Amino acid sequence: MFEDLRDLYQEVIFDHNRNPRNFRVMENANRKVEGFNPLCGDRLTLYLNVEDGVIKDASFQGSGCAISTASVSLMTEIVKGLTKQEAEQLFEKFRQMTTSDSEEINLQALGKLAVLAGVREYPARVKCATLAWHTLDAALKNEQKAVTTE
């Protein structure tokens, strides 16, 4: 990865960590799932408003490391307006990006989420980045129990 690109990615992560987007309790949420990554101590509560198979609104509360906070902040921005199926497909691409060392991954298809591609060099941080998405997956499947990465 080019150094200046890496700096830009880090700047986006810092920005989302300092000013998380959609950091609020959602009063009209019809999905609410808690996620926990015991390896790092990241905790979040994800709120969704899903209507007719479309994610109308997404928000979260919780506390975690910079990677987990930036990841869930970016995710709540990006999944708004997506269908459940589109969100699941994005999760699959995101998982490939963070766990595969293949250069085949199309970072452009991931848009802003590409800023988290660097975590695959740090296996311990992959769970920080994917916690939000595992929690989203459970929320979309309407599972009530808390999600844990262990």
Query: Closer to Zn ion at the Cβ: 65 or 107?
Result: 65
Least Å distance, CB 36 to Zn ion, is: 11
DSSP state string for 21-62: TTBS--TT-SEEEEEEETTTTEEEEEEEEEETTEEEEEEEEE
What is the number of other CB atoms lying within 10 angstroms of the CB of residue 23?
A: 15
Query: Closer to Zn ion at the Cβ: 42 or 137?
Result: 42
Least Å distance, CB 128 to Zn ion, is: 3
Report the alpha-carbon distance of residue 31 to residue 49 in Å, rounded.
Answer: 6
Chain contacts with Zn ion (rule: CB under 5 A):
40, 42, 65, 68, 128
Asked if residues 48 and 29 have their Cβ atoms less than 8 Å apart, the reply is: yes
Query: Closer to Zn ion at the Cβ: 128 or 138?
Result: 128
Q: 76: which 2 tokens?
A: 């709540």
Query: Closer to Zn ion at the Cβ: 59 or 68?
Result: 68
DSSP state string for 94-137: HHHHHH---TT--GGGGGGGGGGGGGGG-HHHHHHHHHHHHHHH
Least Å distance, CB 81 to Zn ion, is: 27
Least Å distance, CB 39 to Zn ion, is: 7
Query: Closer to Zn ion at the Cβ: 23 or 49?
Result: 23
Report the alpha-carbon distance of residue 82 to residue 101 in Å, rounded.
Answer: 27
Least Å distance, CB 131 to Zn ion, is: 7
